[in-house]
Amino acid sequence: MAEKQFAGGSEAEIAVHWGEEQLIHPTVEFIAQANMTDASIYKRFSLENFPNCFKEYADLLDWYEYWHTTLDTSDAPCWKWFVGGKINASYNCIDRHLAKNKNKTAIHFVPEPIDERYEHITYRELYVRVNEFAALLRDFAKLKKGDRVTLHMPMVPELPITMLACARLGVIHSQVFGGFSGRACADRIVDSQSRVLITMDAYWRSGTLGDHKQNADIACGLAATDGQKVDTVLVWQRYPGKASSPTPMVKGRDHFVNELLKDFYGARVEPEKMPAEAPLFLMYTSGTTGKPKGCQHSTGGYLAYVAGTSKFVQDIHPEDVYWCMADIGWITGHSYIVYGPLAVCASTVIYEGVPTFPDAGRAWRIAQDLGVNIFHTAPTAIRALRKLGPDEPAKYTYNFKHMTTVGEPIEPEVWRWYYNVVGKGKAAIVDTWWQTETGGFLCSTIPAITPMKPGSAGPGMPGIHPIIYDEAGNVIPPGAGRAGNICIQNPWPGGFQTIWGDRDRFVRTYYERYCKNPKSKEWRDWPYMTGDAAVEAPDGYFRILGRVDDVINVSGHRLGTKEIESAALVVEEVAEAAVVPVAHEIKGREPDLYVALKPGFTPSRELEKKISDAIAREIGKIAKPRKVWIVKDMPNMRRVLAAISNKKDVGDVTTLANPDIVEDIRKMAG
């Protein structure tokens, strides 16, 4: 295997190496109704027809002005799509559907408490609420085109309402995952220079109505220390008119949205006609170094790409009820709960809470209640649902025609449970491989055209041309049986434009490695490096092995090792910290943390807990290590620690300054 070529302690090194699987074909019923059954789509989107092939996606949208240049490469590798085009994302997701579909449900909201009613928001109602809130943002919060605003909101309809209101004004939203800490929120406020924060007082999670307002206070305090003052905090109330959080409002800064909104009832805001390449939003993601990267996504290219993939890969029709169980705080939610589905006039489901609350049947009851027929989730959730209630799906009468898995590699065993038990042997599955940076899918099958293969994401999407390079820059051909760095040969409209405020880092991180000529303005010279390891089968299907860099994919979400290590160093007793990925049954990967203490401090259970709590406080619960190992000294080589954590051979350690410590640590880790 090719493991040797990867940096020490990478996910690719601990990937499960399962064998080739048989192809599985979708049912005739699925094919008969599918949006895309014409196999010539691959030919239409071949490299010879690049970039004009993407007109097919852009034509799914309504433009104020059509573009004159499909792809402008003059600022390579910052690509500009559909240049000259004018468009508004909010108009495309709402207004244009009103003529035919105003009474159709746009959003089904499912609160976590089982005794609370579902809410069904029609496109007309969405139009009214987005307009009123857009007026408030413009006239009260004084936000205008190009401003950035940070959102720190839970899974409630007010979140897409807020996003679409921003989009209506051309204001760039930056939603921070609700489960992230006030500290994480502050870092994103500072980096994006937001003077307005939009949040909610409380939300339900696993049966508890947690105080979320407190995070806003922490975030604003820390942001101010770091030089970014937030002058306005808009607080939605989970129960309008009722206090759900004990944290007091700060006079002059904090305002309840539902109180202010009364002044804007009936207000209408003309959508801004935005240039296609104007940024629509920022989405922060973890990288190899400490600071999260603000991935800047465009308006026209992004929306075209998510609309096209929602239609052809998610197979969304007007009569479908579509449920993506991701959180809108991640890219999956932006692209495939909000922008993609609403652009194609779907009914999209938003569920506030945990899929296994109060029991393992909850998700299937929701699907049954709402008539969900397209279901979208991550392997981590599938593993959890399978473990807790392997026989639950059979008890309910929902009927899925289509299911998605996304976020991390799925083991063929888990895939088969998803297919046979959740999908009842008839739902077509797509395994979509992509990233925060890429806006939409990179590899996936087109469900009625290309058959499924458990554990493989499938071929490149139409118009996406993956290529695998080895460390020396040679192409690894299909069927070679070797893994390498998977890259994309060409730009595509959904790709991010840059890292907010850091073009150099953008070029360095994603393009420098395999760039053929740094002066070139030709897209052919700039393969995009994904940071994943993959193997290509003889039939052109890609199997993704995981990250080759210092990023850990926990439950389908990226955490930077440096970020976790910095959080550990906040604890005064800690001198050094090193984090490594460990295989985990449900989460896919989990961080294991090794720390060495400053002289004079002694290890204890309390200290382990203090360190673990500090990480949850600094980043969020998702980053909590499986175990904190307090060690005497650090071999300071992630490869060695990862081998110990994963119970593998540590290899040659003779070059370490302190080789004896390795044996000590190994004994301790059992």
Question: What is the phi/psi pair of residue 564, to 5°?
Answer: -70, -40
Quick check: 301 and 327 in contact, CB under 8 A? no
The CB density around residue 55, as the number of other CB atoms within 10 Å, is 14
Nearer to ligand WT7, 110 or 535 (CB): 535
- Nearest approach, Cβ of 403 to ligand WT7 (angstroms)? 13
**501, two tokens:** 């405020």
- Nearest approach, Cβ of 634 to ligand WT7 (angstroms)? 27
- Nearest approach, Cβ of 444 to ligand WT7 (angstroms)? 8
- Nearest approach, Cβ of 620 to ligand WT7 (angstroms)? 14
- Nearest approach, Cβ of 331 to ligand WT7 (angstroms)? 5
Please give the Cα distance from 381 to 89 (Å, whole number). 30
Please give the Cα distance from 252 to 240 (Å, whole number). 20
Nearer to ligand WT7, 382 or 665 (CB): 382
- Tell me the C-alpha to C-alpha distance, in Å, between residue 539 and each of 40, 534, 542, 551: 17, 14, 9, 29
Nearer to ligand WT7, 282 or 661 (CB): 282
Nearer to ligand WT7, 434 or 629 (CB): 434
Nearer to ligand WT7, 89 or 331 (CB): 331
Nearer to ligand WT7, 70 or 432 (CB): 432
Nearer to ligand WT7, 483 or 640 (CB): 483
Q: Which residue is nearest to ligand WT7 (CB)?
A: 436
Question: What is the phi/psi pair of residue 493, to 5°?
Answer: -65, -25
- Nearest approach, Cβ of 585 to ligand WT7 (angstroms)? 17
Nearer to ligand WT7, 15 or 342 (CB): 15
Please give the Cα distance from 429 to 410 (Å, whole number). 12
Peptide bond into 358 cis (omega under 30): yes
**126, two tokens:** 């969405």
- Nearest approach, Cβ of 619 to ligand WT7 (angstroms)? 14
Nearer to ligand WT7, 105 or 485 (CB): 485
Residue 128 belongs to what H/E stretch?
helix 123-139
- Nearest approach, Cβ of 549 to ligand WT7 (angstroms)? 9
Q: How large is the greatest C-alpha to C-alpha distance in the chain, in angstroms?
A: 74
- Nearest approach, Cβ of 382 to ligand WT7 (angstroms)? 12
- Tell me the C-alpha to C-alpha distance, in Å, between residue 352 and each of 154, 298, 340, 670: 7, 28, 20, 40
User: What residues make contact with ligand WT7 under the rule CB under 6 A?
Assistant: 285, 331-332, 406-409, 431-436, 457, 530-532, 544, 546-547, 553, 556-558
**534, two tokens:** 């993959």
- Nearest approach, Cβ of 260 to ligand WT7 (angstroms)? 34
In our burial notation (b when 16+ CB lie closer than 10 A, e otherwise), range 67-86 reads beebbbbeebbbbbbbbbbb
Peptide bond into 111 cis (omega under 30): no
Contacting residues for 652 by C-beta, under 8 A, at least 6 apart: none
**118, two tokens:** 């579902």
Please give the Cα distance from 629 to 667 (Å, whole number). 12
Q: Where are the beta strands (DSSP E) in 33-178?
A: 69-72, 80-83, 86-87, 105-110, 119-122, 148-152, 172-175
- Nearest approach, Cβ of 539 to ligand WT7 (angstroms)? 17
Quick check: 405 and 382 in contact, CB under 8 A? yes
Nearer to ligand WT7, 285 or 490 (CB): 285
Nearer to ligand WT7, 407 or 447 (CB): 407
- Nearest approach, Cβ of 530 to ligand WT7 (angstroms)? 6
Nearer to ligand WT7, 427 or 614 (CB): 427
Quick check: 375 and 367 in contact, CB under 8 A? yes
- Nearest approach, Cβ of 45 to ligand WT7 (angstroms)? 20
Contacting residues for 296 by C-beta, under 8 A, at least 6 apart: 279, 282, 496, 497, 498, 499, 500
Please give the Cα distance from 556 to 406 (Å, whole number). 8
Question: Residue holding tokens 């051309």?
Answer: 170
Nearer to ligand WT7, 105 or 530 (CB): 530
